[in-house]
């Protein structure tokens, strides 16, 4: 649970709040000299990917809408959000650039948890939109 909270803090809160939580809950990890650099690298990659993917995604949605004039509905919005999440997490995660020799640093565990949670959310959204009753 602590790792999930750390992941959410990394993504959505200022750096000082995230570092306070890590200093409190993971004091040994916080003292690691590479922690600050690798966590900042992961945050930067995810936020950069979210920004650039949004531009690509918006352009793709405009082209798709102009070609097929799909209806704007809640289900179509959820499908689009699922595709955007998959794109951002797949391209934006830190991945191999965060690897160390033991592969078990806090930044790597946060990166892995963010990736797994996003994939689970995407599968859930996919299943809901596939089986949503069309009336």
Q: What is the pLDDT of residues 46-102, one digit of tens each?
A: 777 778 878 888 888 888 778 877 777 887 788 788 777 777 776 666 555 555 556
Taking the C-alpha atoms of residue 115 and residue 129, their distance in angstroms, rounded to an integer, is: 21
Ordered DSSP codes for 52-107: HHHHHHHHHHHHHHHHH-----HHHHHHHHHHHHHHHHHHHS-GGGG--SSS--HH
Average pLDDT across the chain, whole number: 78
pLDDT at position 67 is 80
pLDDT at position 121 is 82
Which is it for the CA torsion 45, 47, 50, 52, positive or negative? negative
- CB atoms near residue 21 (< 10 Å): 18
pTM summary value: 0.60
Domain boundaries, the chain: 2-131
pLDDT at position 95 is 54
pLDDT at position 98 is 55
Percent of the chain whose predicted confidence (pLDDT) is above 70: 85
Predicted confidence (pLDDT) at residue 120 exceeds the cutoff of 60:
yes
Predicted confidence (pLDDT) at residue 20 exceeds the cutoff of 60:
yes
**Quick one: average pLDDT of 18-28?**
88
């Amino acid at each position: 649970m602590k790792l999930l909270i750390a992941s959410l803090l990394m993504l959505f809160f200022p750096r000082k709040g995230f570092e306070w939580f890590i200093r409190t809950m993971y004091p040994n990890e916080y003292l690691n000299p590479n922690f600050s650099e690798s966590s900042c690298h992961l945050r930067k990659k995810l936020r950069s990917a979210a920004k650039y993917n949004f531009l690509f995604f918006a352009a793709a949605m405009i082209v798709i809408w102009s070609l097929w004039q799909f209806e704007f509905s809640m289900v179509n919005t959820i499908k689009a959000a699922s595709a955007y999440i998959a794109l951002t997490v797949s391209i934006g995660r830190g991945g191999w650039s965060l690897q160390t020799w033991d592969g078990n640093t806090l930044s790597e565990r946060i990166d892995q948890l963010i990736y797994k949670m996003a994939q689970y959310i995407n599968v859930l959204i996919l299943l809901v939109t596939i089986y949503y009753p069309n009336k």
